[in-house]
Amino acid sequence: MKLRYFLYAILLLLPYVFRDYTPDNELRYISIIDEALSNGSIFTFYNHGEVYADKPPLFFWLMMLSRTLLGAHIFWIYGLFCVLPAIGIIIVMNRWIQSEQPYSKHSPAGEMLLTTGIFLGAALVMRMDMLMALFIVLSLHTFYRIYWRRSKPRDKWLLPVYIFLGIFSKGPMALLIPLVSILLYAAIQKGWKHLPRCFGWRQFAILLGLCAVWFGGIYWEGGKEYLHNLLVHQTVGRGINSFYHQEPFYFYIRTMPYTFAPWTVTFIVLLWAGFRQKEFVSNLEKYFITIILSSLAMLSLVSSKLDIYFLPVFPFVVYLSVLQFDKITYWSKWMKVAIMLPYIVFALLFPFSGLIFKYVPFPIEESLNTLRLAMFLLMLCSLLSIYLTYRQLHRQAILCSAIGWLLFIGAGSFGISQLNPYFGIKMMGTTARETARTNGIEHFAYYKFRPGENLNIYLEQMPEKLESVDKITDKANQTGYLLIVRDRERRRESGLESQIKNYQSLGRVGDYEFFNVPLVRESEE
């Protein structure tokens, strides 16, 4: 069992070994922790001098500790802070359902969860969401154990700590999701009298005390304005009338078909079968349904919405679905066909790989063999899953397909490095730095593109952002420089293309080209 988790972690870490940082969030986090370490700040964070109160400190602390101990940014180490919480969620959920329903010992729920849409994406991208989801799962599990008197003495003290660590990882949803779920479940069970035993004034005091220490640290370092930004602007502002990611209330319903892929149809079949046979009768299933519906309602009412905000609810949807396997007494033909749909699609990827590769919008010739091998492994597992489903071995079929997905990710990782120039900016930044040194250029500028603000990590200086074509000439009046231009801006702005054609091109990496913009002499004017 432990070996299985270890192998899953290795397969999920492989992309971190070979791929570049994403230009937006991941590279921004690197820049932020470098600035924090340089400034000696602990509770407050800044991005190029501007307040960055979007995220609490815990994830940044882990990155800062790693950076300090190892002396460098090591991407796969940062990846551990996402992959290990994902594995941790699976371990907690597996033990939870096995303690309630021992026959679920060989459930494929963990593998389904690990390969489900946004959950898999959150494990493969450096974000705080998976860490928060782990603490939400731990807090909800701990409450359930306390409520039904199956807890250990330490659990009642761990509950407020888990809730705080969730808040300390990402924000207030780590409080709201457990709080609303707990209150609603107590109301459904008519167990209000048990709430003081589960979360009394002592637990409440621990939670408030931990928050007070955090907020006090913020006030000490950043003052009243930073604290107001965190508690009001980033919390209340996003919740009521968001300035960021504002979406309609039905957003999560609309996105579920692809966020739960490739198992969307499987979940629908299993949940439909459970409702049809009225099998949701256990306390555990009622608790999971309460968490799912209350969280969906609450997240839908919050103004700011992203697919990944629903991440903490995914484990409960997946495990509730899989719990229905042993309760379904009859598998109709349409149910079997529906569950086989993803296997059929996966099996067809390899035979049609040539056609698929034709529509990839960037060169992948160097990675073709690696990608074909990854698709071949997925096809083999998918064909086996189709056969197992035909034999009504549904658990084994799902497990086989999920392993196929993980093998696909692991094998495909070895071809990522050839694609880095089109997804990241590390190669572009280091090449621009060496190009400037070779040509005796001391200054840098970039035209508009957003990730350029974090190029200082590779250029060893802060480049200037040019917002208009006129600024290109204005800067040339002050100094000569290397200008970095992205193809997207060149396609959108005809004036940009006519301007940069006057300058010498020094090279290209991926979608970015470098130009030598010399100093404009007075005589030239």
Query: In Å, what is the CA distance from 98 to each residue of 41, 287, 317?
Result: 44, 15, 16
Q: Is residue 254 part of a domain?
A: no
Of the three residues 377, 395, 421, the one that is the final residue of a domain is 421
Alpha carbon dihedral 276, 277, 281, 284, in 10-degree steps, equals -70
pLDDT (0 to 100) of residue 400 = 94
Confidence of residue 190 (pLDDT cuts 50, 70, 90): confident
For residue 506, pLDDT beyond 90 = yes
How does pLDDT run across 200-234, given as a tens digit for each residue?
A: 889 999 999 999 999 999 999 988 888 888 887 66
Rounded Cα–Cα distance for residues 42 and 30 (Å): 15
Alpha helices in 391-463 (DSSP H): 394-412, 420-423, 426-438, 456-459
**Same domain for 350 and 202:** no
Instruction: State the number of CA atoms in the 13 A half-sphere of 489 facing the CB.
Output: 20
Examine residue 15 and say whether the peptide bond preceding it is cis (omega within 30 degrees of 0).
no
**Same domain for 452 and 430:** yes
**Same domain for 313 and 412:** no
Mean pLDDT check: name the lowest of 276-290, 313-327, 490-504: 276-290
For residue 329, pLDDT beyond 80 = no
Structure tokens at 151: 């807890």
The highest-confidence range among 33-47, 192-206, 276-290, 352-366, by mean pLDDT, is 33-47
Are 91 and 5 within 8 A, CB to CB? Answer: yes
The beta strand positions in 20-116, using DSSP E, are 46-47, 50-51
For residue 524, pLDDT beyond 60 = no
High-pLDDT (> 70) share of the chain, %: 95
Q: Is residue 183 part of a domain?
A: yes
For residue 41, pLDDT beyond 80 = yes
DSSP secondary structure code for residue 22 in this structure: P
Which one, of 446, 476, 474, 475, lies nearest residue 459 by Cα?
446
Q: What is the mean pLDDT of residues 112-126?
A: 94
The dihedral of CA 35, 39, 43, 47: what is its sign?
negative
The dihedral of CA 148, 149, 152, 154: what is its sign?
positive
Which one, of 131, 117, 108, 124, lies nearest residue 399 by Cα?
108
Instruction: State the number of CA atoms in the 13 A half-sphere of 364 facing the CB.
Output: 20
CB atoms within 10 A of CB 166: 28
**Same domain for 282 and 147:** yes
Q: Find where tokens 């597996």 sit.
A: 94
**Same domain for 441 and 310:** no
Rounded Cα–Cα distance for residues 177 and 164 (Å): 13
Q: Is residue 250 part of a domain?
A: no
Rounded Cα–Cα distance for residues 235 and 175 (Å): 12
Rounded Cα–Cα distance for residues 14 and 35 (Å): 28
Burial letters for 242-268: b for 16+ Cβ neighbours within 10 Å, e otherwise?
eeeeebeeebbeebbeebbbbbbbbbb
Which one, of 346, 274, 278, lies nearest residue 317 by Cα?
274
Are 117 and 259 within 8 A, CB to CB? Answer: yes
pLDDT (0 to 100) of residue 14 = 96
Rounded Cα–Cα distance for residues 110 and 94 (Å): 7
Total of domains in the chain: 3
**Same domain for 508 and 444:** yes
Confidence of residue 310 (pLDDT cuts 50, 70, 90): very high
Are 124 and 405 within 8 A, CB to CB? Answer: no
**Same domain for 316 and 210:** yes
Of the three residues 325, 345, 368, the one that is the final residue of a domain is 325
Range of the domain at 471: 426-517
How many residues comprise the chain?
525
Q: Is residue 340 part of a domain?
A: yes
Q: Which residues contact 71 (CB under 8 A, 6 or more apart)?
A: none
pLDDT (0 to 100) of residue 105 = 66
Instruction: State the number of CA atoms in the 13 A half-sphere of 459 facing the CB.
Output: 24
For residue 366, pLDDT beyond 60 = yes
Q: Find where tokens 């919008």 sit.
A: 361
Q: Is residue 416 part of a domain?
A: yes
DSSP secondary structure code for residue 19 in this structure: S
**Same domain for 359 and 237:** no
Of the three residues 296, 325, 354, the one that is the final residue of a domain is 325
Q: Is residue 524 part of a domain?
A: no
Examine residue 262 and say whether the peptide bond preceding it is cis (omega within 30 degrees of 0).
yes
pLDDT (0 to 100) of residue 523 = 41
Confidence of residue 246 (pLDDT cuts 50, 70, 90): low
**Same domain for 141 and 210:** yes
Q: Is residue 312 part of a domain?
A: yes
Q: Find where tokens 């990608």 sit.
A: 371
Structure tokens at 168: 């300390």
How does pLDDT run across 146-164, given as a tens digit for each residue?
A: 999 888 889 999 999 999 9
**Same domain for 437 and 368:** no
Structure tokens at 13: 């870490």
Instruction: State the number of CA atoms in the 13 A half-sphere of 63 facing the CB.
Output: 28
DSSP secondary structure code for residue 101 in this structure: -
**Same domain for 200 and 144:** yes
Pairing of strands 481-486, 444-447: parallel
DSSP helix/strand/coil, 54: coil
Q: Find where tokens 């659990």 sit.
A: 155
Q: What is the mean pLDDT of residues 287-292?
A: 95
Instruction: State the number of CA atoms in the 13 A half-sphere of 262 facing the CB.
Output: 19
Q: Is residue 525 part of a domain?
A: no
Q: Which residues contact 409 (CB under 8 A, 6 or more apart)?
A: 11, 12, 14, 15, 124, 374
Quick one: 492 exposed, middle or buried, by C-beta within 10 A (0-12, 13-18, 19+)? exposed
Are 206 and 160 within 8 A, CB to CB? Answer: yes
**Same domain for 312 and 369:** no
Structure tokens at 137: 């799962």
Are 507 and 514 within 8 A, CB to CB? Answer: yes
Structure tokens at 133: 């989801």
DSSP helix/strand/coil, 50: strand
